Structure 1
Amino acid sequence: MQYLRTFFLTLLVTVFVNCSKSNGNSDNYPADAPSNITITYVVSPDNSGNVSFTASATNAVNFEYDFGNGYFATSSSGSAIYKYPVSGTYTVNVTAKSNSGKSATKSVQLVISTVTSLIWSDEFNTAGAPDPAKWGYDIGTGSGGWGNNESEYYTNRSDNVTVSDGTLKIKAQKESYNGSGYTSARLLSKGKFSFKYGKIEVRAKLPAGGGTWPAIWMLGDNSSTVAWPACGEIDIMEHKGNDLNKIYGTFHYPEHSGANGMGGNVVITNATTEFHIYSLDWTASKIQIAVDGNVFYTLNNLSSLPFNQNFFAILNLAVGGNFAGAVDPNFTSGVMEVDYVRVYQ
């Protein structure tokens, strides 16, 4: 009996010791959470929006940055550089993580002031034909109605495109012309001006006729050598005369062409009776389409997409086609009026 008691006591001591060991910091249990987080930053004095961040913490092996505007970055060293595209007050959250996955977060607030410059514009203040140093034309019907089964013949006649009273006027009208039942115009800055990243604003008033299809859009500079949609297409504004006041913004690229484009739409008021500002804010990380400053679609711009090269601008007014739908038999003419085109960087 004494032997059994001794054995039982020894067994209890062994179990207790083993349990005690298992409560230590073995590989099966997480290390302490990061602590003593510090964040320092330097805002570039040139108003470029560039900010250099440095974070440190005890027990941290990785840092995740939330720059306060929907953009994120990961850094094993704790250092990060980010360029804010627009002015504002931002709350930056930095999360430090340990090897075990435990984390701790600290926040700082910073004020950013950025300055952009107007690098190109057309204010349409000189009456007559559009400035030939800034605009060229697509002429004719294109293959299969510019690939969209459109019904118009594009010209550079003053009947279809002119500048007067401080605005550009692109006029679609019903007439028999070179085998087509309608005429209109399509202007483009190809070979005259293109840009990569920045902001483009176009203030315009749209036509109302059923079957009209005004558009403000862009194509990659390599569109002549690379088949669409590999060159990329950005539709800043499209509107259907058969569905008034609904504004579409769409991106076309491989695997997302035609009706499979990536985009959205928004309903506004008085699109055909008042001027509105249609804009694109474009960076290496995201592209936003807006009306009157209100963003209605955002595309995350990846390095694999074709939206990291120069693009040129296009202004046109189509009639009929796959997107616009049937033309109202009573339609005789409609005008897209453009007050200005401005590009900032």
Structure 2
Amino acid sequence: MDSPRLLRRLLLPLAPLLTLAALSTGLAPAPAPAPAPTTAAVAPAPAAVTFSDEFDGPAGAAVDGTKWQTETGDNVNNHERQYYTAGNRNAALDGQGHLVITARRENPGNYQCWYGRCEYTSARLNTAGRFTTTYGRVEARMKVPRGQGMWPAFWMLGNDIGQVGWPASGEIDIMENVGFEPSTVHGTLHGPGYSGSGGIGAGYTLPGGQAFADAYHTFAVDWSPNLITWSVDGTVYQRRTPADLGGRQWVFDKPFFLILNLAVGGYWPGDPDGGTVFPQQLLVDYVRVSTGGGQTGSGPITGIGGMCVDVAGANPANGTPVQLYDCNGTAAQNWTVGSDGTIRALGKCLDVASGGTADGTRVQLWDCNGTAAQVWALPAARDIVNPRANKCLDATGGSSANGTRLQIWTCTGAAAQKWTVTR
């Protein structure tokens, strides 16, 4: 997608920390290679919920001010056409458990925009100064508007934006949709050297010509150190690690805040046309953040055929193969997932041999040494991913036989790459 998408601007001082007036997200991301979508269901693991808004309340009520603040003003940087208003006219509860962000063709307050008298109103909300998160599962169930010129988004910005500016702050776009692509949403990373049209991202398209405006859909990222995974309705369609950045800085290991908005027009979506019906609405059923949609625990790790991940011969020596074996409850099959990303048994770490990144590199037991070869991410899709290699733990040959060696391999969503960690 080469359509231009210029700077998004912060319209409201967020907090003493966030006094910067010019935020962004640069041009629309050019397509970047991404792993093929899988059909593996992303069922969130039990985890502590750190933020939740179910939007319960009487019809017409404003959003909870302890969770959200409302930005106001226009956006010249992106050449958007709307004026974001305060109060509950453009962002209100519907009394049925939804937040409704409404874009209208109107100007009741004689608002002035970059192009003259504003033609539209809408709303933009953020959690800066109220809630931030580092890692976890961030998701929203939403029904997007339809029509040329509509641009709904659910995204995050680094909380240090006031100190370092954009794009050094980093930006994680969980979901963006532009009206001329009714069946497609985009997920993108922006950071230093890969912002604007150089953003790293991919799109997801509904099958069979369905439109996202026809029904509610769940948009999520599972975010852990050195790995961010995007999904729609439980289908993973993109994973990104520092390896995707070509040596540029990964800026996604710090607190971020959330943003919800509905823009009208702009360089990327283009302006509304004669076929665009107003008002248009972005309906939000819920927004939730939990401490890791992925797996954690201490106990057996089971894979294809119900077989257990096993240290061969229960031997704690460096270089001992890690394999599949009948589950037997021994210490050789008792694994602990550490907060540092390690997976440990018998006092040692699951390790990619020689720090390899190639398909077929075997995994083994080795002294814990803090290297990237021993860091693993466990997103809710039930993959076990080595972020450095951007590859999945895999049973060789798709076999479930006793003694099957484990290796890393390009993530495909196959049964040989699906694991359950005991909690």
Q: TM-score range by the shorter chain?
A: 0.5 to 0.7
1:241 aligned partner, one-letter code: G
Is residue 280 of structure 1 aligned with residue 247 of structure 2? no
Q: Name the structure 2 match of 1:135.
A: 68
Q: Name the structure 1 match of 2:284.
A: 338
Is residue 292 of structure 1 aligned with residue 222 of structure 2? no
1:130 aligned partner, one-letter code: V
Q: Runs of 5+ in structure 1 lacking a partner?
A: 1-69, 71-85, 89-112
Q: Name the structure 2 match of 1:178.
A: 111
Q: Name the structure 1 match of 2:154.
A: 216
Q: Name the structure 1 match of 2:91.
A: 161
Question: Residue 228 of structure 1: which of 130, 150, 166 is its match?
Answer: 166
Judge conservation of contact 1:283–1:301 (CA < 8 Å) in 2. no
Q: Deviations over 1:248-290 (max 9, x none)?
A: 1111111111111100001113310210000010000210111
Is residue 194 of structure 1 aligned with residue 111 of structure 2? no
Question: Residue 250 of structure 1: which of 176, 182, 188 is its match?
Answer: 188
Q: Name the structure 1 match of 2:269.
A: 324
Q: Distance in 1 between matches of 2:216 and 2:223?
A: 23
Q: Distance in 2 between matches of 1:275 and 1:87?
A: 17
More strand by proportion, 1 or 2? Answer: 1
Question: Residue 212 of structure 2: which of 271, 293, 296 is its match?
Answer: 271
1:344 aligned partner, one-letter code: S
Q: Measure how far apart 1:237 and its partner are.
A: 0.4
TM score, norm. by length of structure 2: 0.53
Q: Distance in 2 between matches of 1:235 and 1:222?
A: 17
2:104 aligned partner, one-letter code: Q
TM score, norm. by length of structure 1: 0.64
2:161 aligned partner, one-letter code: S
**Number of residue pairs the alignment of both structures matches:** 234
Q: Distance in 2 between matches of 1:133 and 1:270?
A: 34
Q: Name the structure 1 match of 2:410.
A: none
Q: Runs of 5+ in structure 2 lacking a partner?
A: 1-34, 36-40, 113-117, 292-423
Question: Residue 57 of structure 2: which of 123, 126, 135 is its match?
Answer: 126
Q: Measure how far apart 1:330 and its partner are.
A: 4.3
Q: Deviations over 1:74-105 (max 9, x none)?
A: xxxxxxxxxxxx999xxxxxxxxxxxxxxxxx
Q: Name the structure 2 match of 1:54.
A: none
Is residue 313 of structure 1 aligned with residue 254 of structure 2? no
Q: Distance in 2 between matches of 1:284 and 1:120?
A: 20
Runs of 4+ residues over 4 Å off in structure 1: none
Q: Measure how far apart 1:326 and its partner are.
A: 2.6
Q: 1:209 to 1:298 in 2, by over 3 A?
A: same
Q: Measure how far apart 1:149 and its partner are.
A: 1.1
Q: Name the structure 2 match of 1:37.
A: none
Structure possessing the higher radius of gyration over alpha carbons? 1
